[in-house]
Structures are given as C-alpha cells and as structure tokens.
Amino acid sequence: MDYGNQTLVIEFFFTGLTNHFQYQVVLFVIFLLVYLATFLGNLGMITLIWIDSRLHTPMYFFLSHLSFVDMCFSSVIGPKMLTDIFVEKKVISFFGCAAQLCFFGQFVVTECFLLASMAYDRYIAIYKPLFYMLIMSQWVCVQLVIGPYTVDLINAMTHTTSAFCLPYCGPKIINHFFCDLLPVLSLACADTQVNQFLLFALAGAVGILSGVIIFVSYIYIVIAILRIRSADGRCKAFPTCSSHLTAISIFYGTLFFIYVCLSSSVSPDINKVVSEFYMAVIPMLNPLIYSLRNKEVKNSFGRVFRRKFLMSK
C-alpha cells in the first residue's frame, strides 16, 4: 500500500528530558561540557594522528575513523538537544526527524564494524607480527573502513525509508529527546510489526557478526600472548590491545544493557538516561581511553606540544 499521500504530520514534538528549570540549567551545563569535550577530544585525536607521521599506521588509521564517527555521532543529536532544553515546544520537522534517524543509525552501526576492524588489526599485529605490514596494506585498511560505511548506510536507509513511508496522522509527540526508531514507530497510524522485525533482525545480524569477529580475534590474541614465554614479553603485548578492549567493553556493555536487560516495561525516563549515556558519554570516553592508556599517543602529544612551544618562542 502506498502510504505517502496519507502522511498528515509535517512535524514532531519531543517531550525532552525535564520541564523543571533548575534541572534544565544543570543538564544544559553538563551536556554542553560533555559535547565540547567529545567534539574537541575526537577532533584533537584526528589532528594528532594526521600531523604525526609516527602514527601513520593501520591501528591509528582505524582510530582516526573511530574518532570521526564519534564526533559525528554526538553532533547528530547533541546540538539539537542542547537548544531544546530551554524551549517549551521542542519541535523537529518530518524530514529533519528522518535525517536525524538515518544519521544516528548510520554512525552507531559504523562504530560496531569499526571496532571489529580494529580487533582484526590487533589480531594480525600480535598473532602474525612479521607479516603485519604486508597483510594490513593501505588498500586492505581502506576496504575495512569503506565496507562499514557502505553497509551501514544501506542499513540506515532501509530503516529510515521503511519507517517514514508509513502514515503519521497524529499524535505527533515523541516521548524522547531525539528521533529514535521505536518511539517514532509508536506514532504511526499503521501496523509496524514488519518494521520492528526488520529492526531487530538487522540489529541482531550486525551485533552477532561484529561480535563474532571481535570474539574470534581476541581468542587468537590470547593464544598468541600465552605462547610468549617471557613474562616481560606478555606484558608488552597486552597493552597494544588493552585500550581497544576497554572501548569494546563499554560500547557493547551499554548496548547489551539497552537491548537485553531493559524490557519494554521499563520507564521511558530510564530509557532516556541510558540513551543519553550512550549518545553523549561513550563518544567522549574513547579519546580519553586511547590517550590515557596508550604510550604512543601520549608521546606523540608531548612531541607536538614541545614542537609548538618551541616554535612559539
């Protein structure tokens, strides 16, 4: 059935996070600081990798794209959410909502597969160190980045197109602070079972595929580390993937909590809090994890800082 001509809603309204002014001020300050830290932290990581030739390796090539995805991911929702905090009518146009949903889905799934690509990179670096630069050639690295962007764009367009071809004839209040798929589908004037099945089927496929790649990669990494006879050698091998393992644990742990631990009966306010952590905090943590737990990044930052300081003199 063609639903296009039945769509009467031209804009949606968000319920937002809170209507209490004192809480609005606190939330605005906190989320503004978090967003600025996220944007500047990831932009700084990209810039550092770009200007320091010692970081022009496959590992940091993937890390620069992870920072780019985190920066874009937070920017899809963050600025709109900040401007809506003090606004009584938190409105977004029909096509603006579709665009927000599409980009949000794109960057979330891209991050899943980028983390999987980084796990494969760490597997090659530790399990086959002599052939690392041969296997992880520039062309292979480009493919491992273009693949996630392409697949995830198709995935996001599929969900967005199928959702916004449905009729929306009222109500038009989204019980959230951004256009998430399930809250939007709940407003459709049609049966959404196919859309929900498509969502959980594709999300499950993405989670299983990326999870299997990461899990298998780390099995081989552990085997390779255990084969190292000296304790000093094992201690040197593990830190090369500890930052990535920390980022994976936080990212997938949050996803597991949202989609497995939280049932549909959980309060929408709790869902908002978890979504806020997922949307704002995780993109901020990644550059901190890779800078504080990575000696190469800290040394590179020191070299760049000293170079700029000496030039300023």
Cα–Cα distance between 33 and 84 in angstroms, integer? 16
Q: Please tell me the predicted confidence (pLDDT) of residue 293.
A: 60
Residue 67 banded pLDDT, cuts 50, 70, 90: very high
What does the pLDDT look like over 156-189, one tens digit per residue?
A: 999 999 999 888 887 788 888 889 888 899 888 8
What are residue 12's phi and psi, to 5 degrees? -120, 160
What are residue 9's phi and psi, to 5 degrees? -75, 130
Residue 141 banded pLDDT, cuts 50, 70, 90: very high
Q: Which of 95-104, 218-227, 284-293, 301-310 has the highest mean pLDDT?
A: 95-104
Could you report how far apart the first and last alpha carbons of the chain are, in Å?
70
Q: Please tell me the predicted confidence (pLDDT) of residue 306.
A: 63
Q: Please tell me the predicted confidence (pLDDT) of residue 2.
A: 47
For residues 227-236, give the mean pLDDT: 70
Q: What is the mean pLDDT of the chain?
A: 82
pLDDT(61) > 80: yes
pLDDT(5) > 50: no
What does the pLDDT look like over 256-299, one tens digit per residue?
A: 766 665 545 555 666 676 777 777 788 888 888 877 666 677 66
Q: Please tell me the predicted confidence (pLDDT) of residue 161.
A: 92
Q: Please tell me the predicted confidence (pLDDT) of residue 140.
A: 93
Q: Please tell me the predicted confidence (pLDDT) of residue 117.
A: 92
Largest CA distance in the chain: 70
What are residue 93's phi and psi, to 5 degrees? -70, 165
Q: How many domains does the chain have?
A: 1
Among 74-78, 102-106, 207-211, 227-231, whose mean pLDDT is lowest? Answer: 227-231
Cα–Cα distance between 145 and 66 in angstroms, integer? 10
Residue 137 banded pLDDT, cuts 50, 70, 90: very high
Q: What is the CATH number of the domain that holds 275?
A: 1.20.1070.10
Residue 59 domain boundaries: 4-312
Q: Which of 52-66, 216-230, 253-267 has the highest mean pLDDT?
A: 52-66
pLDDT(41) > 80: yes
Among 21-35, 73-87, 233-247, whose mean pLDDT is lowest? Answer: 233-247
CB 224 within 8 A of CB 126: yes
For residues 87-101, give the mean pLDDT: 91
CA 145 to chain centre: 14
